[in-house]
Structure 1
Amino acid sequence: MRERGVSRRRALGIGGALGLIAATGLSTSAALARRPSITGAELTSAVPLPPPYQVPLPIPATLQPTAQGRYEIVQREASAEILPGVRTPLWTYGGTFPGPTIESRRGGPVTVTHRNELPVPTVVHLHGGRTPAASDGYPTDLVLPRNWTHAGGHAGHGMPDPRAVVTELTRDYTFPLDQRPALLWYHDHRMDFTAPAIWRGLAGLHIVRDDAEEALGLPSGPRELPLMIADRAFAADGTLDYPALDPGLRARPGVRDPYLAGVMGDVILVNGAPWPVHEVDAARYRLRVLNASNARHYELEAVTDDGRRLDLVQIGADQGLLAAPVTHRLLPIAPAERYDLVVDFKGVPIGGRVRLLNRLGTGRTRDVMAFRVARAAADDSRIPAALAADLPDWRRSDAVRVRDFAFRTGRMHGGHGWLIGGLPFDPARSDVTTALGDVEVWRLVADVHHPVHLHLAGFRVLARSGRPPLPHDAGLKDTVSLRPGESVEIITRFDGYRGRYLFHCHNAEHEDMGMMANIEIT
């Protein structure tokens, strides 16, 4: 494996600033806010990479139920031709990367039986799901592979968890899906090893639909495209390169020092294909976009070959439709965020191309994918001026309490860690206790970039550093991107279920190195 050298200038904008931040606090990280939206270090692939816009965009297969409301997924090793002519071993849901898409109806409960045939324990979290605690995928609620002999079932940074529910080989996850229609995703959430497990392929989509959304007339069928964007790097033998301290992911968590701030790759995959291309009609398309990268942030724009930007019309956020559309030319998207967009290709000449670019990328990571307009076509879709009327109208005066949380680097168990409120994650400690139905305002502050994810409950962004939210903060979210030195206020109501849940940074390396905390809903 070859690693890209990091210049002093670049290091100050990413992981190299960690010691400085720890020593001087937010005054230093405020200066970093003027730097590119990146926290982490990039691996360089050791295999020849294909030219962009040659590989067709794959569409993940829809998982078929085994009975009404019941699904089965086998977690197993497989290999796939991600780079043309190169076989890459993967850890998969059902043998594919991404895993199969589950299509559900609002209020229609589903049970997914996961069978673990991988060499290590796993945990499944439905990200964005309003899920009872027993099925939420708590990091110590492991599904052990057959004949797993490691003492206690898990090891690593975390302390022992007396409440862990551990099963062998299989586990049923039940999702009531009593929630707004939205693009969710499921991924591994194992204690201390979430980042490398997702990197190896353990991620898939879950779409919730309802009649009201389908009646809006939005683009649908082949003109609705799920786009899971993720970066990776490849070693000389075609395997996925990742700087794990323990390549077997069995006992010792963490990554090598240059990557403590986050791991990024130099290959951009969309639905598991490198820089793909998709043929489209000259019509509106609905793009359901997920950033499934471990640490990479993107700023997306759609550009024709003659340099004209197309509007990215946002109709939805993490937790479903907005009240009204918001039009962007540039759209930032942090790890785990989802945006529901409509792009109109009607004005592009037949045979013309539209590239989806990443303004935060350099070199090959500036390209994401392309659309080639293949034909004229009728289009009866529309973008209504009013989209959803069921968004919560929580007000500051509704909040029964205000909480403050600092997301910062620090020391953990004698080494580097990522901390919330100065503390590393401990599954046996209750960090937040709240009552079912309580409305709270949380003030979050960051040193470097931290995409903060709240399990179970959606939230609204109230303010950024004392100013109004940004246009892309609209709607109901479950992940919010904090920039260096930035504070963000959110408001939420804990109205789902009682039990133990998490909030954490969704830079997956930060998460594995302590940046999680518990919420106890009573």
Structure 2
Amino acid sequence: MAEAGLAMRNTTDRRGILVRGVGAGVGVAMGGMASSGDGSKDRKPAGSVSQSRAVNQRRGPAIGAAVAVIPGGYQPFTQPCSVPLDLQPTSVGVAPWQPGAVFHGIAPEFFDRRYAEFPDQPFFELYPTQYYDLRVQRVVHEYVPGVRTPGYGYGGSIPGPTIRARVGQPVVVRTYNELDVELSTHLHGGHSPAHSDGYPNFYVLPGRARDYFYPNTVPLRNAQYDFTESPSTMWFHDHAMDVAGPNVWYGLAGFYLVTDQLEDDLIRSNVLPATAYDIPLVLQDRKFNPDGTLFYNLLDHNGQLGDVWLANGRVQPFMNMQRRKYRLRLLNGCNARFLELRLSTGQPFTKLGKDSWLYPAAIEQQTILLAPGQRADVVVDLTDAPNEVFLENILYQIDGRKPAGSLAKPVHMQQPQQWLKFVVEGSRQPDSASVVPGTLLRPHHELNPADAVATRVFEFQRRNGAWQINKQYFDPAIAAATPTLGTIERWIFRNSTAGWWHPVHVHLTGQQIIRLNGAPPPLADRFKSDVVILDGGGEAESLLDFR
């Protein structure tokens, strides 16, 4: 197969980038109407952005070959792990600019904050709106010290800054596209207006801006605010049609962490670790060219696998830790690599939640399986740990289509991949959090299959080198399902391809998995999820509550 080169150019027309892959994930999204504003109000900063060449092509080796390129001769675990900085609001309560006065506008819900199914009921809102400016720019990032790698960054950084929000405090993020490729930002796990969901063709065009409105509210149940739906660990990433894969590979991902009174009380009472010991960690694999630029194969539509392991945008870093319990928000930010994580000591994780939500009670897991896009909210207890502990991936995968084995019988590596080293120092800390398996967290409302008003089947097929759902190629103008607000539906996801695994993500609502490959799901998957993994020939049955 011929290789194709991709450079970050001053101009990029759409026809020239249609060959770019989008990774191994499959999304099912509900669309909606977009509003538009006055494009003359868009603002661009003074100065120019570097137009450095960011990507070159080379024939990539299979994972496991001893030729992984680590730029600059870097020795693993000799640079500190960074923690993404928090994005600071431009203003709170008073808009610093006219909301919606940009080319791509703002969601109409910003002006009419009422529940569609209960028009007399306003959104749950306790705090003044926070307004943010977020510029998507070319950046030069040091994955390893001294090697300057061009890429893309939210707010000028890789990974992007963390947005911290509260349930009951709306957020508006004015997102400026200063790149030469279209963007669409998806808040993964968010219960957002359609205009702000990051639908694949709800673009932020080059040189334009969009106001993303995130209500950070909760839906209603029996006309009451339902705080069992309060989210905790979300993330945002590019989701633009045909270019999401390379855009995220170059750096477009960041955390969006939410809290509410219940979670605040758990932290205040020292059940959960304090914010100082709460660490978001995005794990990614990447591949580099010998000159330190990123390698991305535009002609490989089987998903991109890297051969270098990153934590928070650094190649195999270390992190200094005290002898206490830490909360880790683990995000699989890979393009196609599934991860099965463990601690090198063999100590289990105390898992607080999956994807966006806390569990009803903490559970114990020896290993954590994460598909691309999935999150695990875990506590690790380093109180009596040795001086060095590694976060490791043990799942064997050399093909972007899937790991070896099946969900029931995964294949593990004899020599695990070490992604991050914890350097444990000092004496035992007396104020460590008290959470243990079984500790009560957030109440869970269990959906009843008998309440489902409809059953829909979504079957994934590979045809002519592309993907279909129910024998239809993706068409942004066609809605594959139009559920009624206030109803519960049963959705069956079916993977008819034996040679692929699919992480299936439904936008705008969570799902309660009730059967996985013909059996009840494991305990860790029985509550709310926003991603379900289908292995080769697999099937999942979920309940979705549309509110």
TM range (shorter): 0.7 to 0.9
Residues 37-79 of structure 1, C-alpha deviations (whole Å, 9 max, x = no match): xxxx999537455232222110000011011100111111010
1:3 aligned partner, one-letter code = R
Q: Counterpart in 1 of 2:325?
A: 284
Whole-angstrom distance in 2 between the partners of 1:260 and 1:43: 22
SS at match of 1:440: strand
SS at match of 2:344: strand
Q: Counterpart in 1 of 2:209?
A: 170
Give, in angstroms, the shift of residue 488 of structure 1: 0.9
SS at match of 1:144: coil
Of residues 239, 249, 260 in structure 1, which corresponds to 2:293?
Answer: 239
Call closer, same or farther: CA 1:74–1:315 in 2, change over 3 Å. same
Whole-angstrom distance in 1 between the partners of 2:71 and 2:423: 27
Q: Counterpart in 1 of 2:418?
A: 367
Of residues 273, 294, 297 in structure 2, which corresponds to 1:219?
Answer: 273
Of residues 103, 108, 132 in structure 1, which corresponds to 2:193?
Answer: 132
Whole-angstrom distance in 2 between the partners of 1:319 and 1:135: 18
Call closer, same or farther: CA 1:236–1:243 in 2, change over 3 Å. same
2:356 aligned partner, one-letter code = Q
Aligned residues: 418
Of residues 408, 413, 429 in structure 1, which corresponds to 2:478?
Answer: 429
Are the counterparts in 2 of residues 42 and 264 from structure 1 also a CA contact under 8 Å? no
Give, in angstroms, the shift of residue 390 of structure 1: 3.5
Q: Counterpart in 2 of 1:387?
A: 440
Q: Counterpart in 2 of 1:399?
A: 452
What is the TM-score when the length of structure 2 is the normalising length? 0.73
2:136 aligned partner, one-letter code = Q
Moved more, 373-382 or 224-233: 373-382
Q: Counterpart in 2 of 1:3?
A: 59
Aligned counterparts, 1:12-411, within 5 A = 44-45=68-69, 47=71, 50-68=74-92, 69-146=130-207, 169-179=208-218, 180-216=230-266, 217-244=271-298, 259-304=300-345, 309-349=346-386, 351-360=387-396, 366-376=417-427, 377-383=429-435, 385-411=438-464
Whole-angstrom distance in 1 between the partners of 2:457 and 2:158: 38
Are the counterparts in 2 of residues 93 and 202 from structure 1 also a CA contact under 8 Å? yes
Whole-angstrom distance in 1 between the partners of 2:439 and 2:486: 28
Call closer, same or farther: CA 1:487–1:429 in 2, change over 3 Å. same
Whole-angstrom distance in 2 between the partners of 1:493 and 1:292: 27
Call closer, same or farther: CA 1:59–1:372 in 2, change over 3 Å. same
Whole-angstrom distance in 2 between the partners of 1:292 and 1:183: 14
Q: Counterpart in 1 of 2:504?
A: 452
Aligned counterparts, 1:495-510, within 5 A = 495=547
Q: Counterpart in 2 of 1:419?
A: 468
2:385 aligned partner, one-letter code = V
Whole-angstrom distance in 2 between the partners of 1:373 and 1:404: 49
Q: Counterpart in 1 of 2:19?
A: none
Give, in angstroms, the shift of residue 139 of structure 1: 1.4
SS at match of 2:151: strand
SS at match of 1:3: coil
Give, in angstroms, the shift of residue 2 of structure 1: 3.9
Give, in angstroms, the shift of residue 193 of structure 1: 0.8
Are the counterparts in 1 of residues 392 and 416 from structure 2 also a CA contact under 8 Å? no
Please report the RMSD computed on the Cα atoms of aligned residues, expressed in angstroms: 2.1
Whole-angstrom distance in 2 between the partners of 1:319 and 1:409: 30
Call closer, same or farther: CA 1:371–1:242 in 2, change over 3 Å. same
Give, in angstroms, the shift of residue 380 of structure 1: 3.8
Residues 345-373 of structure 1, C-alpha deviations (whole Å, 9 max, x = no match): 11214x34344343436699712111111
Mind listing any 5+ residue stretches in structure 2 that lack a counterpart?
1-56, 93-129, 219-229, 398-412
Whole-angstrom distance in 1 between the partners of 2:147 and 2:441: 45
2:332 aligned partner, one-letter code = N
Give, in angstroms, the shift of residue 406 of structure 1: 1.3
Call closer, same or farther: CA 1:170–1:365 in 2, change over 3 Å. farther
Whole-angstrom distance in 1 between the partners of 2:316 and 2:62: 25
Whole-angstrom distance in 1 between the partners of 2:416 and 2:472: 34
SS at match of 1:197: helix
Whole-angstrom distance in 2 between the partners of 1:360 and 1:218: 33
Call closer, same or farther: CA 1:290–1:5 in 2, change over 3 Å. closer
Are the counterparts in 2 of residues 3 and 43 from structure 1 also a CA contact under 8 Å? no
Call closer, same or farther: CA 1:343–1:424 in 2, change over 3 Å. same
Whole-angstrom distance in 2 between the partners of 1:134 and 1:6: 40
Percent identical residues:
36
Whole-angstrom distance in 1 between the partners of 2:312 and 2:211: 26
Are the counterparts in 2 of residues 3 and 44 from structure 1 also a CA contact under 8 Å? no
Are the counterparts in 1 of residues 71 and 144 from structure 2 also a CA contact under 8 Å? no
Are the counterparts in 1 of residues 390 and 418 from structure 2 also a CA contact under 8 Å? no
Whole-angstrom distance in 1 between the partners of 2:425 and 2:153: 33
Are the counterparts in 2 of residues 289 and 338 from structure 1 also a CA contact under 8 Å? yes
